[in-house]
Amino acid sequence: MRELNHLSVFWVLTALVRNLTLLNHLLFRCLTVLNHLLFRCLTVLNRLVFRNLTVLNHLVFRNLTVLNHLLSRCLTVLNRLTPIHTLKSILKSDCPSHSKLKLIFYLNFLLLSNATIAQSKKNACHCPQAQKVVDADIRFQFTNGTKIGLCGEMETEEGLQLFSEFVLFECGKKQSIGDWKKEAEYIIEVKRDTLFVVEMESLPTGDNFEFEYNRWMIEKLWFNGKKWLRKKELNLRFHRFDQAEIDNVLEEYEENIHRAPDAGSDMPAKLFVAAVSGNEKARSYLLSVLKGQTIQEGGPDQKADGFLDLLNQWDKANAARNEKK
């Protein structure tokens, strides 16, 4: 009987230990889950508080800005509505009740004066090389607010704004970005905060050899945050002659090779386009014309001498392109 009692006690104790172990395990799991939930709640609460504080800070800043703007407008309107003689009487008065009005007037005057001076300096865009104050003829604006001024000669031809003998500069600064010669004509474009100064050449590349403006030399200017950078490259993809047009030019030249041309002859221009189109005979004829071996002095127009420089530019750019291939 005693042995049976001992076994019963043993099994009871064993069951109790198991239950306590299970209870401890469940309690540990519950505490772990509760701790995890509490951490998540605190994280979410912290984010919400941070966002609310950020929004509140933004709203306060916006309200203060609007309030400041409205106060400035009200003071401006007050200045306009208040008669001059009333302001003079207040300023000259020794009455203590007018002291606050005097202080407001003086502060308002200083604020508006400083704002006007600062705004005028910011918007100033005067030609840097002029003997007197001269405003820029035209302005270009970048997305970051930088304004570029241009001072020089401008005319409109074939729907294009052409510039010559001009200077580019950053508005509000005395130093110029660069200047360009008078003999050439340029168009100016702004794309993606890059300034393009494109030298244009009038060449017989239109229908029936009509003259039209072609993009010749393209110069890019951009600001890297510290200084202006420049890169110049020749446009090797402008319109050139096909074989039929080249044959037409060669035939015309060979028919008139022994005849002195008129002063307005367009033969040098035609030979130039044929030469850069890849025809060696046209190149030989062009060099002969430019050296005055077959055309008398005064025959070709004044631009004929410039074709030699254009041909050298073309050869140099073409050779550089072939080296990269």
**pLDDT tens digits along 125-174:** 888 766 455 667 778 888 888 888 888 888 988 889 899 889 898 888 87
Looking at the chain, the whole-number percentage of residues with pLDDT higher than 90 is 26
Whose CA is closest to 311, among 281, 279, 287? 287
pTM: 0.58
Give 264-305 pLDDT, tens digit per residue.
578 999 999 999 999 999 999 999 888 764 444 444 444 556
Task: Spell out the domain ranges in the chain.
Answer: 82-123, 138-234, 243-324
Q: Where do we find the tokens 């050449």?
A: 201
Residue 200: exposure state from Cβ atoms within 10 A (0-12, 13-18, ≥19): buried
C-alpha distances in Å from residue 234, one per residue of 220, 238, 312, 314? 11, 10, 11, 7
d(CA 119, CA 113): 10
Backbone angles phi, psi at 130, to 5 degrees: -80, 150
**Of 91-100, 115-124, 161-170, 246-255, minimum mean pLDDT range:** 115-124
